[in-house]
Amino acid sequence: MASGEFNAGDWLVHRHVREGRGDRVAVRGAATLTYAELAGVVGTVTAALRALGLRRDDRVVFVANDDVPLFAGVLAAFCGGFVAVPVSTMLGDKELGEIIADSGAAVVVVSAEYGPQVQRAVAGAPELRHLVCDGGAVLAAPDGVTSWTWAELIGLGERAGAVAAEPAATPADAWALWLYTSGTTGSPKGAMHRHANIRHVCETYGQQVLGIRSDDICFSIAKLFFAYGIGNSMFFPLSVGAATVLEPRRPTPAVTAERAAGDRPTLFFGVPTFYAALLGSDLPDDTFASVRLGTSAGEALPAPLQQNFSRRFGFEIIDGIGSTEALHIFLSNRPGSVRPGTTGLPVPGYDIELRDVSGACVSDGEPGSLYVRGQSIALGYWRRTGASRTVFAGEWLNTGDTYVRSPEGFYVCLGRSNDLLKAGGIWVSPSEVESRLLEHPAVAEVAVVGVTDAYGLDKPVACVVRRGEVAAEELIQWCRDGLAAFKRPRQVVFLDALPKTATGKLQRFKVRELVSDRSALMEGVGP
């Protein structure tokens, strides 16, 4: 792909107005916006960010729900030549503070319900200059930081004039989007993506696998702060002039059914854990009558879950794998030729290799570490030289996953190449959960591993050696209070001792063996 001038925000929004598609519906959120209306809001916010004094490559962090302010704000950052940094709303103030400070954010935009934790988080962000709340009241801000409401920001942009609303002439290689991920190592790191990367995922997976059309309506369970979610809800629909459904509430089967009935989506984007929740619900079998195709990513989709879901709800699910570092899916099944239990074939535009420990490619049927090459690979991690050198090997990305390829060319996931695990499609670092549990006075030792549930999905389980009386429910709540809720162990197993080597090193594989026997789960809670 040429590295000439290209602005992703202009391409996703303003292009459609110039080419006569301004009256098409673009967004179905708290308000329904046409492409012309969305372009107007995006232009106003672009002008406002410039009026705040932002310069090229300044970072704008978003801690916000999936709705118009977040959607338009990210696009405005692209258009202005700034860097959009959408951050998980599930994080606590300590985790948010680390990311805001690490990114060097000049502006933070926050939904009102997350105001209290963001107010605490920004206290340690020396480069922050502006704090914007999309609610009706300004938030208290540290000295030197100006606080605004979203309405005040819009007013500032309107006063700035039409010239300030114009998209910047950005190089295709310029920063556009940073996404923080635990990736293949435990601590959050900002994966830096170019404007060109956004177009690439649309032209590869969006067009050649998903087959997205201008008359599609997209509905994603994964939120915009995920790489998977921002592709589903923003990049793919806007690349072809289609519509997207934005849902600010936490996804539940009931909420999903409500939006499916009201908005009639044609493309549905989920993760295995949520497909399992839908399958276990009492929703009518025709809930998704409008959906022509579903996708799954985040973790491997077990074949029984895939088959049972499609039989009940009547649409095919194509399972795939992507990563924050690759921006979206690079290995996927295809509509009409799904191979259950596999992750499918390479997406056009990507090269895949399976390598052994020496770096040599393995033969079909032999497990190897999954490497991918393509034009959407991140430039690296912000301020993480060591991690970047480990994960980004020249043109290739080391995903940290172990795969095997069949003689027919289909790829099957065998798990992680290290100890990280996924819960609900989100990376969880066992060491982070273990550190939190060790802060409890009744915990002497702990090891956190993944155990497969009835649907074939991994869930975090904590094996604990006690130094005093404590219940499993208390320890799970302890994790909830100190970490993002998705990181909590789903069950706690109490042991007399953890398996170790003669030198005292934890034998994590033996811990996994212990919890893989369901009879070992003596105490714990459900999902």
**Per-residue pLDDT tens digits for 424-483:** 778 787 877 887 898 899 998 898 998 887 788 888 999 999 989 999 999 999 999 999
Q: Is 298 helix (H, G, I), strand (E, B) or coil?
A: coil
Q: Look at residue 299 and tell me whether its pLDDT is greater than 60.
A: yes
- Structural domain boundaries of the chain? 35-172, 196-416, 429-520
Give CA–CA dist 160/53, Å, rounded: 12
CATH level 2 (architecture), domain 429-520 = 2-Layer Sandwich (3.30)
Distance CA 203, CA 187 (A): 32
Helices (H), 222-302: 227-230, 236-240, 253-263, 272-279
Please state the pTM of the whole predicted model. Answer: 0.87
Q: Do domains 35-172 and 196-416 have the same CATH topology?
A: yes
The share of the chain scoring above pLDDT 70, in percent, equals: 95
pLDDT at 106: 98
35-172 CATH: 3.40.50.980
**pLDDT at residue 98 in the model:** 93
Asked if pLDDT for residue 319 goes beyond 90, the answer is: yes
For 109-131, b/e burial (b = at least 16 CB within 10 A) is: bbbbebbebbbebbeebeebbbb
Give every CB contact of residue 399 below 8 A, 6+ residues apart in sequence: 184, 321, 323, 325, 326, 369, 370, 371, 372
- Other beta carbons within 10 angstroms of residue 438's beta carbon come to 13
Whether 495 shows a pLDDT value over 50: the answer reads yes
Chain-centre distance for alpha carbon 387: 19
Residue 8 has which token pair?
């992703």
Q: What is the chain's mean pLDDT, rounded?
A: 92
Euclidean distance between CA atoms 326 and 210, whole angstroms: 17
Task: Match domain 196-416 to its CATH number in 3.40.50.300, 3.40.50.12780, 3.40.50.150, 3.40.50.10490.
Answer: 3.40.50.12780
**Can you tell me the mean pLDDT for 83-108?**
95
Q: 154 pLDDT exceeds 80?
A: yes
